[in-house]
Amino acid sequence: MAKRVAVVGAGVSGLSSIKCCLDEDLEPTCFERSDDIGGLWKFTETSKDGMTRVYRSLVTNICKEMSCYSDFPFQEDYPNFMKHEKFWGYLQEFAEHFDLLKYIRFRTTVCSITKRPDFSETGQWDVVTETEGKQDRAVFDAVMVCSGRFLNPHLPLQSFPGIHKFKGQILHSQEYRIPEGFEGKRVLVIGLGNTGGDIAVELSRTAAQVFLSTRTGTWVNSRFLEGGYPFNMMVVRRCRNVIAQVLPSCVLKWIQERRMNKRFNHENYGLSITKGKKPKFIVNDELPTCILCGTVTMKTSVKEFTETSALFEDGTVEGNIDTVIFTTGYTFSFPFFEEPLRSLCTKKLFLYKQILPSNLERATLALIGFIGLKGSILSATELQARWATRVFKGLCNIPPSQKLMAEITKKEQLTERGMMKDTSEDKLDFISYLDDLAACIGAKPSVPFLFLKDPRLAWEVFFGPCTPYQYRLTGPGKWDGARNAILTQWDRTMKPLKTRFVPDSSKPVSMSHYLKAWGASVLLASLLLVFRSSPLLKLVRDKLQDRISPYLPVSIWG
């Protein structure tokens, strides 16, 4: 008899979890509180339902080839970066293609998820749900929580003295949908993440003035690099990852700052990272232009509010503020769990591989998508679900809970003593994290083996973009179309751009030109790939760190 799995939420991670259950011959039942799939990608005109949704103008900031389901590429004529309705359409196509909709119970809220009395032996859960006022109880062999990281708006009003005196409008970005209604107003946006940048840029076209306040500053990436190619496809590559693992961190930081400031000097635009703060990155093609044109004014953090003004840390004051929009992020919670599980699940340190709570006697609960990642969350959640479902079946082993909890306790103690850096809230490296999960299920591609068996494919896998299809080349879940998807990924990238035929247009860049441009990097990465397992590399990296640091410009440490 197939194991029954409860899936909470039918968004991006919920859909992949349903499919992964089916791939492993498990029996999924998905509970979705709204009336449609897609989660936050399903746009609504208002925020009255209390659910976090995309704003009307949102455009994806990771290109389609880097953020698709690994065995279901986007159609070739889809734009590389698309509006939310186009992306939601892709989710609909995915659900219909794999016949997932029949496993979803819409308008159903999960009330509680509790361990059965015999949990230590069976690992089973009691799940109570409510549909149109009627409650139902069922027993499941495993649970996958896919409700997302954007549940509860984080509105830190207590950190802003005088905010309760302020007579203007106060919003959280969760409530923002459209720019209408802000015409002629002076708007203060607090928080500079992707959402803060997007909202500031959009309102700059209608508002009288937009002020954008940030405590830390940020590096601003464009959606494309030199030559007009998608940023993600040019940067997220295995060859670059190998180099990054070997070079000293100070050198990497220096290279990064030079590259980021090549487009525009972030310090001149009021965007440079505050000294002592961790570097942040956002994707925004228009923010520098808005700052240059004066429609967006950068400000430091707010020190205090009055009835109509904001006093900033640098002593400046901006008066006649009509609206304050907090783009200060979200907190995730699990109201359907009992304590102490409810609290433990909010601490990433207690999640094995950022997925399984370490304190459970039986590994039958998985939290899918509750990660910060330097890359596509969609691709990561799919691999998380592939691994979790195999853990449920007993095909992937994990350490005993006692051992995991002992390791966590030790890490906590070392962190408190200052002997270990707390990295639990840092964003994970995309390739390293996905490779780790893929290795656990036997789906990580072997580059040396590919160079012997299929040199053309190996070249694309190692020197080309690390697209999700790479994790379907081998092992459980192998997809016969993966090789072709990798070899044609640039065709799908260029297809939506070729809408104007020019008879005399220049020919595509030749392979010889490609080799000239990337020759040095290719050679270095090849050598590193060959020798990466040698302990000599770590010694060289440490020696370089010691020798180079004193000679690098002081500014790179800021």
The string of DSSP letters for 376-391 reads: -HHHHHHHHHHHHHHH
Q: Is 289 in contact with 200 (CB distance < 8 Å)?
A: no
How much of the chain is in helix, strand and coil states, percent to nearest 5?
Answer: 40, 20, 40
User: Does the pLDDT at position 454 exceed 60?
Assistant: yes
The single residue listed with the structure tokens 């190998």 is 242
Q: Which of 218, 312, 220, 194 is nearest to 273 (CA)?
A: 218
Residue 558 vs residue 73, higher pLDDT: 73
pLDDT of residue 542: 57
Name, in order, each residue with C-beta under 8 angstroms of 47's C-beta and a sequence gap of 6 or more. 53, 174, 175, 177
User: Does the pLDDT at position 288 exceed 60?
Assistant: yes
* For the chain, counts of helices (H) and of strands (E): 18, 24
Alpha carbons 436 and 107: distance in angstroms, whole number: 36
Instruction: Look at the alpha carbons of 154, 160, 165, 169 in this order and tell me if their dihedral is positive or negative.
Output: negative
The single residue listed with the structure tokens 């083996």 is 449
Residue 184 vs residue 344, higher pLDDT: 184
Phi, psi of 53 (to 5 degrees): -130, 165
**Count of beta carbons in the 10 Å neighbourhood of residue 147:** 26
102-158 pLDDT, tens digit per residue, is 999 999 999 999 999 999 999 999 999 999 999 999 999 999 999 988 888 999 999
168-180 pLDDT, tens digit per residue, is 999 999 999 999 9
pLDDT of residue 553: 40
The SS3 of residue 423 is coil
DSSP element (H, E) containing 22: helix 12-23
Name, in order, each residue with C-beta under 8 angstroms of 426's C-beta and a sequence gap of 6 or more. 278, 372
Instruction: Look at the alpha carbons of 217, 164, 175, 329 in this order and tell me if their dihedral is positive or negative.
Output: positive
pLDDT of residue 513: 44
457-474 pLDDT, tens digit per residue, is 999 999 999 999 999 999
The superfamily CATH assigns to domain 155-222+263-329 is FAD/NAD(P)-binding domain (3.50.50.60)
- The CATH code for residues 4-151+332-417 is 3.50.50.60
386-443 pLDDT, tens digit per residue, is 999 999 999 999 999 889 888 888 887 777 777 777 676 788 999 999 999 999 999 9
User: Does the pLDDT at position 493 exceed 90?
Assistant: yes
Mean pLDDT, the chain, whole residue set: 89
268-286 pLDDT, tens digit per residue, is 999 999 888 888 999 999 9
Q: Is 32 in contact with 147 (CB distance < 8 Å)?
A: no
pLDDT of residue 550: 44
pLDDT of residue 535: 53
308-327 average pLDDT score = 97
440-449 average pLDDT score = 96
Q: Do the two domains 4-151+332-417 and 155-222+263-329 of this chain adopt the same fold? A: yes
Phi, psi of 362 (to 5 degrees): -120, 135
pLDDT of residue 484: 98
Q: Is 147 in contact with 8 (CB distance < 8 Å)?
A: yes
348-353 average pLDDT score = 85
pLDDT of residue 551: 43
**Domain locations in the chain as residue ranges:** 4-151+332-417, 155-222+263-329, 512-546
497-520 average pLDDT score = 62
The single residue listed with the structure tokens 């304050």 is 324
Alpha carbons 486 and 457: distance in angstroms, whole number: 8
